[in-house]
Structure 1
Amino acid sequence: MLTTYWRQLRSAQASVLLSFMTLTFFTGLGGALFIPTLSLFLTTEVHVEPFAVGLFYTFNAIGGIVFTQLVARYSDKYGQRKRIILICLLMGALNCLLFDWCRSYLILITIGIVLLGMGASAMPQSFALARDYKDQSKERSMMFTTIMRAQLSLAWVVGPAIAFALITAYGFHTLFLFGTAVYVLGFFITLLKLPDVAHQPSNVNSHEQSKKNRGDIYKLFVCSTLMWGCNSMYIISMPLYVSHQLHLPQELAGWMMGMAAALEIPIMLIAGYLTKYWKMRSLLIASGVAGTLFYLGMNWFDSPHMLLALQLGNAAFIGVLGGLGMIYFQELLPSQTGQATTLFTNSIYTGSVIAGACAGVIAQYLSYGAIFIVSGCFVALATLLLTQVKPI
């Protein structure tokens, strides 16, 4: 499937698209190195209490929403996406250097949050630039956007393992220098290889279409937020559920996450291919059904083999949502590619903010298993709401 797609491209265009894929991997790797190790860094190096760690994550999510949305509005109005990506990658590199040098919580939660938010904007802007490039060449962007999204998933498969290995062997100093190098490499790939697509003012038809689809955008944002929020609740609670409530080996949680992440990538690519034959909404509804069954199954089964087998449902849920969700936003907002891509990203941030509070309350007053029942109900509700969104 991928070989056939790649052969259809001219060599010059293939080089540009390969550069987009590499940039997506590096921007994803920057986050995958940093976010999973942040709580450990704040606890062991900055010496703050658990409440301060949670507060930092909350501020980081809110900052990500604000800064990525501001950058998206500017890029949709004035263009210059390549220049914006370059600036954001520099901000990401500066953030790594700041965390390497500074141990002041106040500076990290202020200047650090600004640099983090700006650095995070590189990813949605790279997807928006890729969409503009494919639109300008009058070619279908569906499959390529899906392949780019798979690079992001791949970065999150290898990133946390690399991060913890570097910390264990060499400490945080080496980790942050490695992160700086990742952003700098991304900067030069963008500077030397990515096209500088001229800003195309929205035509009347696409602008009117975007206005007409506003209601559907709001519904899709709610659906995406609920679904990603349930995924965040799962990530927060699953290791504790496995070890504390089921009294199973802690290593099982790692195997479950690794298996789901590995399965997501081929499912994501298959979903992109199937859009030739089925509407995106139909595939997303099917993934919502898979997600509902997965979460309910997590509460129902307690066998290690069954918990591992259930990861196929988890991968189907997140693989299709992660691969097609962004494209769905872009199709509903054809005149505002940057904002459409950022809305998808911000639905993940918003879901994470909500998930932290919900997971804590449910686990405190009910149980870890109850989190999965609530998640199953939320995903079912989101899937029903999805049936009311304009089919594409």
Structure 2
Amino acid sequence: MFRELLKIKNYKLFLLDMMLLGMALAITVPFFILYATQELGMTRGMYGVMMALFALAGFLVNTIVARFSDKSGFKRKYMIMFSLIMSSIAFSSYFFIHTPVIFIMMYVFFAGLGAPAMPQMYASARESINASTSNKNAVLANTVLRSMFSFGFLFGPLVGTILLKHFGYAGLFGGTILCYLVALLTILVFYKDIERPVIKREKGYVEPIVPNLLRDMYLLVPFLAFVFLHIGQWMYTLNMPLFITEYLNASESNVGYLASLCAGLEVPFMIVLGIMASKMQTRTLLMIGALLGGGYYFSIGVFDSVTAMLIGQVALAFFLAILLGLGISYFQDILPDFPGYASTLFSNAMIVGQLVGNLLGGFMSGIVGLGNVFFVSAAFIAVAFILLIFTKPVKMEDIG
């Protein structure tokens, strides 16, 4: 089964690049807020605003690209390359900008332009899957692809810890830029264009209409559910480093350990879930994941312990494996004729969740305190669970 996946055009290339994207983000993400608040001089509120603005910029860019990315003349290769260049410039701001407000402006602008890289990779991979295998392999192919992103997250925080220790924040941001540039080079050299099937427009043929998120409830309900899931997750991501270092007074290295352990567990979980998804409803798995994720966030406020958080990474990893590994396939299966739009819906749900999660994460931690903010995360997961009950069930047996 896995050998068949490796025969898909560009699939091995995307496996490598997804790992590089995961590593690029994981090198800096656990330490970004520490740099921004402790070195650059931002307040927590300013950092939350920066991440929210970045999410908004990414949402807008993704939405614009999605409107024409599924048209026959669109070249995903150049969009991916452009996005990787923009992401490299965003993180290079560290070397030139030392004023918080200007840093925020530079990071938001260029990182927002870099947002389409991942959804366009997913869309390109789905087109290759459709052209070379049956749709029944699509979930496994997507989950394996997403597992490589998590595989990069497995090593990223450890690499980031080493770079930070020996080279400071210059090594941290330099490592991220290097990952993006290597991915850019591989796309430039090894990417092969995918020939999209030419549709014979016989008499009576009706061109598929791009769906409307606000009009079509079968898209809006799962979209909102995913937004709430990501709000809970990003509130956790924002506050976890501060909870470890300021509330529990534990070492910064624990931040890297937690992120690496979670990412390491995600990889095998995603592969197993990719196989399970061919026999179970994706919605059922998503609801199970929500229960585990919400339970973990609730437990943080109960136990106030790094050890408990380390144990809880099993539940968190299973939740994220389902959310990130199966979510993209769920949207693509709802919209099989629009892989770019479907991939963008998934990415935009994450971006909106990131925007709101970062704003609320900083705001709520100031109101309820770092010791109680994770209860709020759990509440958002609970709302998402309720919404998932009303989403459209999609089983692979029902697909083409």
Unaligned runs of 5+ in 1: none
User: Which residue does the alignment assign to 1:186?
Assistant: 183
What is the alpha-carbon distance in structure 1 between the residues aligned to residue 172 and residue 251 of structure 2? 29
Question: For residues 68 and 17 of structure 1, do their structure 2 counterparts lie closer, same or farther at Cα, with a shift above 3 Å needed?
Answer: same
Question: For residues 252 and 99 of structure 1, do their structure 2 counterparts lie closer, same or farther at Cα, with a shift above 3 Å needed?
Answer: closer
Letter in 2 for 1:7: R
Pair 1:91-2:86 in alignment: yes
Give the 5 Å matches for 1:240-389. 240-241=242-243, 254-302=256-304, 305-389=307-391
User: Which residue does the alignment assign to 2:111?
Assistant: 116
Superposed displacement of residue 300, structure 1? 3.4
What is the alpha-carbon distance in structure 2 between the residues aligned to residue 152 and residue 168 of structure 1? 24
Of 154, 159, 162, 1:157 maps to 154
User: Which residue does the alignment assign to 1:236?
Assistant: 238
User: Which residue does the alignment assign to 2:397?
Assistant: none
Q: Is the 8 A contact 1:221 1:347 kept in 2?
A: yes
Letter in 2 for 1:273: I
Superposed displacement of residue 43, structure 1? 5.1
Pair 1:57-2:38 in alignment: no
What is the alpha-carbon distance in structure 1 between the residues aligned to residue 265 and residue 380 of structure 2? 23
Q: Is the 8 A contact 1:68 1:121 kept in 2?
A: yes
User: Which residue does the alignment assign to 1:217?
Assistant: 219
Write the deviation string for residues 171-210 of structure 1: whole angstroms up to 9, x where unpaired.
4444444433322221221122222113457897893695
Question: For residues 304 and 89 of structure 1, do their structure 2 counterparts lie closer, same or farther at Cα, with a shift above 3 Å needed?
Answer: closer
Identical counterparts, % of pairs: 26
What is the alpha-carbon distance in structure 2 between the residues aligned to residue 296 and residue 48 of structure 1? 29
Pair 1:148-2:138 in alignment: no
Of 66, 70, 86, 1:76 maps to 70
User: Which residue does the alignment assign to 1:33?
Assistant: 27
What is the alpha-carbon distance in structure 2 between the residues aligned to residue 126 and residue 225 of structure 1? 21
What is the alpha-carbon distance in structure 2 between the residues aligned to residue 237 and residue 194 of structure 1? 38
Normalising by the residue count of structure 2, what TM-score does the alignment of the two structures yield? 0.84
Superposed displacement of residue 143, structure 1? 0.9
Pair 1:8-2:8 in alignment: no
Normalising by the residue count of structure 1, what TM-score does the alignment of the two structures yield? 0.85
Question: For residues 200 and 46 of structure 1, do their structure 2 counterparts lie closer, same or farther at Cα, with a shift above 3 Å needed?
Answer: farther
CA RMSD across the alignment: 3.2
What is the alpha-carbon distance in structure 2 between the residues aligned to residue 274 and residue 24 of structure 1? 22
Superposed displacement of residue 75, structure 1? 1.4
Superposed displacement of residue 310, structure 1? 2.6
Question: For residues 362 and 54 of structure 1, do their structure 2 counterparts lie closer, same or farther at Cα, with a shift above 3 Å needed?
Answer: closer
Q: SS at 1:196's partner residue?
A: coil
Q: SS at 1:334's partner residue?
A: coil
Q: Is the 8 A contact 1:45 1:103 kept in 2?
A: no
Superposed displacement of residue 240, structure 1? 4.7
Superposed displacement of residue 62, structure 1? 1.5
Letter in 2 for 1:352: Q
Q: SS at 1:120's partner residue?
A: coil
The answer to which structure has the higher helix fraction is: 1
How many equivalent residue pairs? 386
Question: For residues 98 and 223 of structure 1, do their structure 2 counterparts lie closer, same or farther at Cα, with a shift above 3 Å needed?
Answer: same
Pair 1:169-2:166 in alignment: yes
Question: For residues 95 and 232 of structure 1, do their structure 2 counterparts lie closer, same or farther at Cα, with a shift above 3 Å needed?
Answer: closer
Q: Which has the higher contact order (CA 8 A, sep 6+)?
A: 2
Q: Is the 8 A contact 1:291 1:313 kept in 2?
A: yes
Q: Is the 8 A contact 2:51 2:358 kept in 1?
A: no
Unaligned runs of 5+ in 2: 395-400
Write the deviation string for residues 281-321 of structure 1: whole angstroms up to 9, x where unpaired.
11111112222332333333456554433322212211111
Deviates more, 1:154-163 or 1:206-215: 206-215
Question: For residues 205 and 242 of structure 1, do their structure 2 counterparts lie closer, same or farther at Cα, with a shift above 3 Å needed?
Answer: farther
Deviates more, 1:89-98 or 1:77-86: 89-98
Q: Is the 8 A contact 1:6 1:14 kept in 2?
A: no
Superposed displacement of residue 129, structure 1? 0.5
What is the alpha-carbon distance in structure 1 between the residues aligned to residue 33 and residue 391 of structure 2? 38
Q: SS at 1:207's partner residue?
A: coil
Question: For residues 69 and 230 of structure 1, do their structure 2 counterparts lie closer, same or farther at Cα, with a shift above 3 Å needed?
Answer: same
Write the deviation string for residues 237-296 of structure 1: whole angstroms up to 9, x where unpaired.
345555666677776555444332222221111111101211111111111222233233
What is the alpha-carbon distance in structure 2 between the residues aligned to residue 264 and residue 386 of structure 1? 22
Question: For residues 304 and 112 of structure 1, do their structure 2 counterparts lie closer, same or farther at Cα, with a shift above 3 Å needed?
Answer: closer
Q: Is the 8 A contact 1:209 1:334 kept in 2?
A: no
Q: SS at 1:335's partner residue?
A: coil
Q: Is the 8 A contact 2:44 2:362 kept in 1?
A: no
What is the alpha-carbon distance in structure 1 between the residues aligned to residue 168 and residue 241 of structure 2? 25
Q: Is the 8 A contact 1:363 1:371 kept in 2?
A: yes
What is the alpha-carbon distance in structure 2 between the residues aligned to residue 27 and residue 195 of structure 1? 19
Question: For residues 54 and 143 of structure 1, do their structure 2 counterparts lie closer, same or farther at Cα, with a shift above 3 Å needed?
Answer: same
Question: For residues 115 and 230 of structure 1, do their structure 2 counterparts lie closer, same or farther at Cα, with a shift above 3 Å needed?
Answer: same
Q: Is the 8 A contact 2:236 2:374 kept in 1?
A: yes
Letter in 2 for 1:115: F
Q: Is the 8 A contact 1:64 1:117 kept in 2?
A: yes
